[in-house]
């Protein structure tokens, strides 16, 4: 097992959602381990912040909407144009618009599923095409969620999309592992990121989460980055199609009841024609 801190020397990685949260933690860890990194994010201001933080020839920032196929194609072309090759990819872009099933709008469903599931599909498709064309293999790591296994109130779209990411991961492993491209997923529990700040701003909600996490606390993004890099590294050459829970043992205890913090459904029987 490599322990010199340079497992990714000479490697090029793409990180989607790379300008914040888990994606940014992965990016920082890759740079620390000597990789060249392409940071893809939809937010131009966050990308400028990343560029200012690192000011390195080993990083390229590309504004990318992962739900647009042409932008994913351009992202991969940019990576190869700048660094010559694509060795690994981390698909961390994601967000949600929550709502109870009886309240959830088609727009909110489409936003969440397109970003969290369609976006991963498009990224995998074009990342794998490049890796297969190179003929030297590669590794793709998708950031799914504990919610791929555990439903949550007002989270049907997100949980369904993340369950889809887990199956996409397995299907990619089935189709590409024999050609040297490994595909795995990390399933985080509660992680303190900008996207989960509503939980951390509500002491009662945070206490409900902590009560279900045997480790007794949420994760920091860096604690997801380490397992993600392991799956992409030479230390995991016999791992493909796996789903790695990184949740402080949360999955063994179940999801908290979030209804006290989400309120009640707005829809009521008889209030409108179904």
Q: Can 158 be counted among the known catalytic residues? A: yes
Candidates 100, 111, 158, 255; catalytic one: 158
Which stretches within the chain are classed as H helix? Answer: 21-32, 44-54, 69-83, 106-113, 119-134, 156-176, 197-200, 203-212, 221-232, 259-262
CA distance 169 to 228: 14
Q: Residue 190: which of 49, 32, 21 has the closest Cα?
A: 21
Q: Residue 14: which of 81, 70, 91 has the closest Cα?
A: 91
> Judging by beta carbons within 10 Å of its beta carbon (0-12, 13-18, 19+), is residue 170 exposed, middle or buried?
middle
CA distance 140 to 153: 30
CA distance 107 to 112: 9
Q: Residue 217: which of 237, 193, 189, 180 has the closest Cα?
A: 189
User: Is 41:19 a contact under the CB 8 Å cutoff?
Assistant: yes
CA angle 96, 197, 184 (to 5 degrees): 55
Catalytic residue positions?
158
């Amino acid at each position: 097992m490599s322990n010199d801190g340079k497992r990714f020397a000479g490697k090029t990685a793409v990180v989607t959602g790379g300008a914040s949260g888990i994606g940014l933690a992965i990016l920082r860890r890759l740079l620390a381990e000597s990789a060249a990194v392409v940071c893809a994010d939809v937010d131009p201001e966050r990308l400028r912040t990343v560029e200012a933080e690192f000011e390195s020839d080993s990083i390229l920032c590309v504004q990318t909407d992962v739900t647009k196929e042409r932008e994913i194609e351009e992202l991969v072309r940019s990576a190869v144009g700048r660094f010559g090759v694509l060795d690994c990819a981390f698909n961390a872009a994601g967000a949600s618009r929550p709502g109870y099933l009886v309240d959830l709008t088609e727009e909110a469903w489409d936003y969440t599923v397109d970003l969290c599931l369609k976006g991963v599909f498009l990224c995998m498709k074009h990342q794998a095409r490049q890796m297969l064309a190179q003929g030297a293999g590669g590794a793709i790591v998708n950031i799914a969620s504990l919610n791929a296994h555990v439903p949550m109130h007002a989270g049907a779209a997100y949980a369904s999309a993340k369950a889809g990411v887990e199956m996409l991961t397995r299907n990619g492993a089935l189709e590409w592992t024999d050609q040297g491209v490994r595909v795995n997923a990390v399933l985080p529990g509660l992680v303190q990121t900008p996207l989960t700040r509503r939980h951390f701003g509500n002491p009662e909600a945070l206490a409900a989460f902590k009560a279900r996490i045997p480790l007794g606390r949420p994760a920091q993004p860096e604690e997801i980055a380490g397992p993600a890099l392991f799956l992409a590294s030479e230390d995991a050459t016999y791992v493909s199609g796996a789903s790695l829970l990184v949740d402080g043992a949360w999955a063994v205890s179940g999801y908290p009841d979030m209804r006290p913090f989400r309120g009640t459904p707005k829809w009521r029987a008889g209030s409108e024609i179904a």
